[in-house]
Structure 1
């Protein structure tokens, strides 16, 4: 390998060490407004290679699989190479009015550990805290463990789905706001965490487009993929939670516009209401509480449920409660008042009255009946 590279870069014959930088750039708003500007990455690569070609001590390349990243390699006889690499990358980025996030490898033996340099630089970049309002550069530390991701997007997926089906822009923005309120409590956010969250969002959107019959699903998935992949930055080129919050809200709202509104939304939200009741039978549920949970008025929730199922919503809630009570009574070990409390009834007498109305026998009598 070294001989092949030396045929292009003569200075490599004396090189004992190499280092790599994994770089993500974002131009400031002023630079983005220039009418003749090239992309930040293309300008950075060109500027780096103009300088490096003179010394023959490095090369800048577009990442082979992701155009949003640049790889910068340098080689030297000195083991202090990574310090020079960091300074060079920062100065070049700043000259282009670009804000960089840079992951830098340790100085590795050349050419044996050339690939290792790239891996280390990527890991260093993924660990950078994007909340720091400075030009971020980090050198790989083999003792540093990746931060555990304690917040996951799928923890909020049910809330997002309900907001989506409600068709309410206000509900969508409130749900997005709750997610970002939790994010703001985190001590740091890294590019690695963003990649995990974006993967979770992609999976959620894929399920939605398939489940809810979104028109032109393949086209909208491509558009959404582009929107998700773009890391949001502010006017100074720094990562912005506020910009990402606006971006995510627009993504969900764009899906709402693609829904086959009347048929899909009404059937899906009734299914979600029934699922919610089934999973929360131990609570003292009411029509008002369920309507509020799904961002609907009490009257509309009742009318929609009746239209799709032929059953009153209040009757369905009671039926689920009593069916669960039957199952618990059949076990034969719990007291009547314990069962009543387990399905959301604090008054044992009222529970017994409702149970008898539903099945024609009291809970005590039902427990004594032979199994069928």
Structure 2
């Protein structure tokens, strides 16, 4: 704490310095003034918490000083020390909030008691002031959030919309008497890392800055309001009342300011004026549709209306992923980099040639590509699909696709990302097929070692963690027969070798080759060799 001693006699000021136990009272800085005028001049800069003053001084008396303190330094406490036992002085001291009126000569105990009372009163009031300040700060932080949530409810909570409007009017967030409204959505690109870094990667702080710029351009709540929409943390909504401001002019002003400050221009989706507040939910959907279907190839337009003639172009953009699906499948399965590059880089040219490409179309292509990748991995290896997919998704995370909500589309970046997407997928397929080729060789060896046991296709599939379909398909490709036919043929070849041994009975041979049922063994043998096992053995004897 800081104290100021005011008296026109230096010996009195010195006595006060010596008599008061400053450290004990928590006062660590003491200054002096030789009159009321000098004290007032000092207080503006020094701002003491305690003033100890005389009443009778030539250069500004104590009555003037204490009156000034009450008016201009309300938190400061003061003690009067006077050589005059004057009732008017005492009454003035009490009326202006003085702690005590002490007569000279100064008693150490009395002045220390008065200082202790003053310090205690100041600390109690300061504690109360801090609580009030914290509550005020908290209220100032909560109120804008509360207002934003109420405004967002105008769109999200149609059932209680009239109640919400009345609360907003009562809180003076919006004016009374609004009849029509134009809704405008400012779409923020949350992947704009350079802009985010300028705000310490604090999205809320960035949106707050953009929101304030919007407020300034709107020109006050009488014209409209801008707020962060709580249904999406990437959007700021502007509500423009009646015919007071023009959306095209306002959004142009916002973009001029944003370009000057941050070298950015945002895209806005909007609709026509409609009834307030009942039309807001419909207007929001229409404005979102306008943004989703805006033409990314039109680099000059930033305000997009749902009724724009250009929007009709989407009905003619019938080029879809289904048109290239088989081409991509062949290229990826071939592993041919030239084919992969061709299919990966030519697809966007179709949209460029047509003159229309929207965020909606890009999102559909992305979803179709992910679905295609999933089904292709399922076709190649159902058992390894999840493992391969997890690896590819990790690569997607490391290098995500360009933002669909970017301010302008970067065709080159999209081509490069899709090319890398397909190269990664093709490499995963190639590795999987190579692993399967090695696994198939192991399967054949396994059959040759365990042919005399009860073998099933499912058992082998489970053992090698490969789908039954792949094993069957591979036997057809490599041996032109099924798995069962291959196993039966191998067993019968072993049986023919064992039939040379006269000491082995047929039932023993049948069991040794994994067909313990002698009747079934004989039936299968004759079907494949054209003779029974006994007849075959006799031919060997001749």
Which of the five TM-score ranges fits, normalised by the shorter chain?
A: 0.5 to 0.7
1:46 aligns with 2:208: yes
Q: Aligned pair in 2 of structure 1 residues 262, 194: CA closer, same or farther (>3 Å)?
A: closer
Residues 57-109 of structure 1, C-alpha deviations (whole Å, 9 max, x = no match): 312325635x5x41412232426543344234423542332232221121222
Partner in structure 2 of residue 110 of structure 1 = 276
Deviation at 1:195, TM superposition (A): 2.5
Q: How does 1:43-82 map to 2 (within 5 A)?
A: 45-51=207-213, 52=215, 55-56=220-221, 57-62=224-229, 64-65=231-232, 67=233, 69-78=234-243, 80-82=245-247
Q: 1:230 aligns with which of 403, 409, 413?
A: 403
Q: Say whether the 8 Å CA contact 1:173–1:249 is kept in structure 2.
A: yes
Partner in structure 1 of residue 285 of structure 2 = 119
Partner in structure 1 of residue 352 of structure 2 = 184
Deviation at 1:243, TM superposition (A): 1.4
Deviation at 1:133, TM superposition (A): 2.4
The count of corresponding residues between Structure 1 and Structure 2 is 270
Partner in structure 2 of residue 6 of structure 1 = 169
Gaps of 5+ in 1: 268-304, 312-372
Q: Distance in 2 between matches of 1:107 and 1:260?
A: 57
Q: 1:83 aligns with which of 248, 255, 275?
A: 248
Give the greater-gyration-radius structure (CA). 2
Gaps of 5+ in 2: 1-160, 438-473, 481-542
Normalised to the residue count of structure 1, the TM-score between the two structures is 0.60
Q: How does 1:1-372 map to 2 (within 5 A)?
A: 1=161, 2-26=165-189, 32=194, 35-37=197-199, 42=204, 45-51=207-213, 52=215, 55-56=220-221, 57-62=224-229, 64-65=231-232, 67=233, 69-78=234-243, 80-94=245-259, 95-141=261-307, 145=312, 147-148=314-315, 149-212=317-380, 213-214=384-385, 215-218=387-390, 220-221=392-393, 224=396, 227-228=400-401, 230-231=403-404, 238-259=408-429, 261-263=431-433, 308-310=477-479
Deviation at 1:145, TM superposition (A): 3.9
> What is the RMSD of the two structures over their aligned residues, measured on CA atoms?
3.8
Q: Aligned pair in 2 of structure 1 residues 113, 39: CA closer, same or farther (>3 Å)?
A: farther
Deviation at 1:150, TM superposition (A): 1.7
Q: Distance in 1 between matches of 2:330 and 2:277?
A: 55
Partner in structure 2 of residue 360 of structure 1 = none
Q: Say whether the 8 Å CA contact 1:25–1:41 is kept in structure 2.
A: no
Deviation at 1:121, TM superposition (A): 0.9
SS in 2 for 1:74: strand
Deviation at 1:118, TM superposition (A): 0.7
Which range moves more in the overlay, 105-114 or 213-222?
A: 213-222
Q: Distance in 2 between matches of 1:105 and 1:96?
A: 27
